Amino acid sequence: MKAHPIRTVVATGVLLSASMISMSQALAQGPWAFSANIGAVSNYMWRGVTQTGDQAAIQGGVDVAHESGFYAGTWVSNIDWDEGSSEDVSGTVAVDPTTISGFAEDADGNLLVTGATSGADAASPNYELDVYLGFGGNITDDLSYDLNTIYYAYPDGRDSDFWEVGGSATFKWFTLGLAYTISGENDGGLFDDGDIYYFGGAEFALPYDFGFSVRGGYYDFRHDEVVVGSVTDAAGTSFDVTETADYWNYGASISREAGDFGTFSLNWDQNNGKQDVGYNTDPKFWVGWNKEF
């Protein structure tokens, strides 16, 4: 993935969990079943990090499943990584004195430049497109499993795509799993090959069609050191200052099914990442709506 601060990075197992629920409902229709979903959220949160700069998102996808346990689908959402930047710059630029004049120059004829640059990164994507497939089933009445792979694509961005394989096991109300990044376009940075995300959660049915769930996870990045600044010693030698990008995230949701009107939810997410790296550790409260067809 692109070497930008973690605050701009996308996408928990919420996506795949929602897809599995849709699949289980659709399987009753025959050997092959198709379904679609559409939703809206006041903040697109993924593994404890906002993908929309704390703004709203419209999301949706289509799925196909076979009674054997195989499923596949695609899902899309708008995102806003807010990669606009502003920084002071200074230095020298070589110029031709016969064509450029009126600017201060150094002894070597280089144009002296000082000022600032600002503006949005043209490579920052505006939407996320996920493609996934998997296989799952029941071992016993209380124990089930899911094996999956998912490709996170950002078609209008650059150096942002990455590909994961993962698996999870569910016993009654509790789920444990992990996702492993097998390739990524941000060579040597975050969301490159070798990253592992460990996650767990629990879901409980409540009276009056309410549901309650809790979730948590830990991101273990292979290249986890991020440069956050520099210092200069007495001899004038500069050294980079780094922080680890690894972090924990946790959250909870209360949801209610409303028949043909879909499912509504009230959610909380938070992480404990280093603020110097770019994490926003404030609690995020957001609402969501999802409708299956």
Structure confidence at residue 18 (pLDDT): 44
Q: From first to last of its 293 residues, what are the pLDDT tens digits of the chain?
A: 333 333 333 334 444 444 444 444 444 457 999 999 999 999 999 999 999 999 999 999 999 999 999 999 999 999 998 754 444 444 444 444 544 455 556 666 665 544 444 444 446 899 999 999 999 999 999 999 999 999 999 998 878 899 999 999 999 999 999 999 999 998 888 898 999 999 999 999 999 999 999 999 999 999 988 887 887 767 778 878 888 999 999 999 999 999 999 999 999 999 999 998 889 999 999 999 999 99
Provide the pLDDT for residue 245: 93
pLDDT at 22: 45
Which pTM value belongs to this model? 0.78
Cβ contacts of 257-266, under 8 Å, gap ≥ 24: 257/209, 257/211, 258/209, 261/291, 262/39, 262/289, 262/290, 262/291, 262/292, 263/289, 263/290, 263/291, 264/288, 264/289, 265/289, 265/290
pLDDT for position 23: 46
The Cα-based distances of 57 to 39, 76, 132, 149, 216 in angstroms read: 8, 10, 20, 24, 22
> In CATH, which of 2.40.160.40, 3.50.50.60, 1.10.579.10, 2.40.50.110 is domain 6-84+120-292?
2.40.160.40
Question: What ranges do the domains of the chain cover?
Answer: 6-84+120-292, 85-119
pLDDT of residue 109: 61
Tokens representing residue 31 in the block: 């050997």
